[in-house]
Amino acid sequence: MDSKTVTMTIRKKFSNAIETPSAGAFFKRLRSHTSAEWTRINQEHVVRLFERMAEKVPAYKKFLRSQGIKRKNISTLEDFSTVPSISKKNYLHPSDFNELFWRGSLLSPHILTSTSGSTGKPTYFARSHEVDERSSLIHELIYRTSSLKLNSSTLVIVCFGMGVWIGGLITYQAFELMSRRGYPISILTPGINKSEILKTLRDLAPQYDQIILAGYPPFLKDVIDEAIEEGISFEKHRVMLLFAAEAFTERFRDHVAEKVGIKNILTDAINIYGSADIGTMAFETPLSILIRRLATNNEKLFTDLFRGTTKTPTLAQYIPDSVSFEAPNGEILVTGDSSIPLARYSIGDHGGVYTFREMVDRCKTHKIDIMKEARTAGISKQVLELPFVYVYERIDLATTLYGLQIYPETIKEVLLDRRFHTTLTGKLTLTTKYDHNEDQYLEINIELKPQKEAGKIFVSELQSEILKNLREKNSEFHELSDFMGKRAEPRLVFWQYEDPLYFKPGIKQPWVIRPAA
């Protein structure tokens, strides 16, 4: 049997194996349920989970008792919305670790990960194998709705950290479980070792038809930029980019997609909303990206959809019988089952929630027919009537200038401009400082690419463009700038590539360093 015949036989085998009963039922359910049915499922899920937690999770029983909440009084979604929310501060940290588990037992199999500790003491979370299975099915859904071919050799390079954090391990497990279901997937886990990633792209990737790069957005951008500078070509591959852990702009998506030759921006550069707390929670879909891009170019739609922020939030869809969201007063609350189940858990993010029908109707008020737009974009068959959640960064991920909030996103956009990105990596750190007169000013620390310098003309143009974007995107800054003139202008400080003070190599870029109180 020649090699061509062998390849065709193997591909036929994989094609037959891919439609496993569990995966097939999962995708059929996602496609068949209407918005109204998902709303009903959401209500049933949260009330049923609450009842089980109130009976079988010792820490939650104590919490409800302390709040004067009786389980028998909570039987509807409206009742559930009156239950006090839980958080690290009022629930996880004060409780004995074992009492956070079902029946207060550590005997159930689970996987432990930790938060990064960026907002305080690290917190350990345990997730069940069911959470990993759901995450794998979501990754499979993303894969199947992309431009990737199901029966072509695919190399997944996991560029998330592979230590105690969730990103690397859950991504590896998601694709490893997919490979067990018959997909021709090979996985390598270099983590954040950039030299190993580049070596992989140069020496191993050419053996495969398709590449999936999974990692933290600014880190993947670094990898892609350096790969191209080293003469590594992505042209012969179908490439997919899979992000998590941070929001980014549509300009960023366009930039990295162009670099690796992605042609379908709606399907092949996807951001996942996940956490150590409960795993993969929500995910971008072709439809959510389409709506986000329409809103980015329509100020009235943007303002109407994403109330409470001028930033571009992540817009994702979620499966309500896995994880559910609420957003009272703009605070994201998560409810979901795992080894440590959570009910109305304040995850620290802000945003809002829409049913599919609410999203369609909201767009319609701006004379935008979402289904018509989906047909025009060629994604109508990939539309799922799942609910939406939009998420923007916490208030502690901004710095202040004379009392107003300055977010790094507004400056990030400028650094990606063609005039600047050949010199700059796109990374920055914002901080508020005081001069010798105790006048407050905004300092922007910016990373240079290797062997690059910022000349006077370059600096002047960059500062002018940053100031222009701040004035356009931040109405409060616009007013402050009119009033204070040059004193409101940010000061730029340039640092050599991977300088350890602000740009130490790793997956977590400190976009903001808040001044000490």
* CB-facing half-sphere around the CA of 18: CA atoms within 13 A: 19
Closest CA to 83 of 41, 45, 46: 46
Q: 3-class secondary structure for 328-387? A: HHHEEEEEECCCCCEEEEEEEEEEEEECHHHHHHHHHCCCCCHHHHHHHHCCHHHCCCCC
Token duo for residue 207: 């053996």
Measured from the Cβ of residue 513, the count of other Cβ atoms closer than 10 Å reads 14
Helix, strand or coil, per DSSP, at residue 491:
strand
The pLDDT score that the predictor gives to residue 379 is 96
**What was the pLDDT predicted at 193?**
86
What is the structure's pLDDT at 393?
Answer: 64
Angle at 508 between CA 416 and CA 469, to 5 degrees: 30
| Single-letter amino acid, residue 125 | F
Provide the pairing of β-strand 154-158 with 238-244.
Answer: unpaired
Q: Which residue has the tokens 């999962």?
A: 26
Q: What is the pLDDT of residue 15?
A: 45
Instruction: Give CA–CA dist 447/30, Å, rounded.
Output: 43
Cα angle 511, 512, 517; round to 5: 165
- At 22 the pLDDT is 64
What does the alpha-carbon distance between residue 435 and residue 505 come to, in Å, rounded to a whole number? 30
pTM greater than 0.85 = no
pLDDT at position 2 is: 53
Please list the rounded mean pLDDT of every run of 10 residues in the chain (517 residues). Answer: 49 48 79 95 96 98 97 95 96 97 96 67 88 96 95 95 87 96 95 92 96 91 91 94 88 92 96 94 98 95 86 93 94 96 94 97 97 96 96 72 80 92 94 79 95 95 95 82 85 95 81 70
Same CATH topology for 1-29+109-280 and 399-495? Answer: no
Region of 418 (left: φ > 0; alpha: ψ -120 to 50; beta: rest) is alpha
83-92: long-range contacts, CB 8 A cutoff, minimum separation 24:
83/50, 83/343, 83/344, 84/344, 85/331, 85/333, 85/344, 85/345, 85/346, 86/60, 86/342, 86/343, 86/344, 86/345, 86/346, 87/345, 87/346, 88/123, 90/63, 91/59, 91/60, 91/63, 91/345, 92/123
- Which residues 6+ apart lie within 8 Å of 122 measured at CB? 114, 115, 116, 164
CATH number of this structure's domain 1-29+109-280, picked from the four choices 3.40.50.2300, 3.40.470.10, 3.40.50.12780, 3.30.470.10: 3.40.50.12780
Fold of 399-495: GMP Synthetase; Chain A, domain 3 (3.30.300)
Every domain of the chain and the residues it spans: 1-29+109-280, 399-495
DSSP 91: I
Whole-number pLDDT of residue 319: 97
Measured between alpha carbons, how far is 379 from 363 in angstroms, rounded to an integer?
Answer: 17
SS3 content of the chain, % helix, strand, coil (to 5): 45, 20, 35
User: Can you tell me the distance from the alpha carbon of 440 to that of 180, in angstroms, rounded to the nearest whole number?
Assistant: 57
Q: What is the 3-state secondary structure (H, E, C) of 406-448?
A: ECHHHHHHHHCCCCCCCCEEEEEEEEEEECCCCCEEEEEEEEE
The kind and range of the H/E element at 113 are strand 111-114
Q: Which amino acid is at 184?
A: P
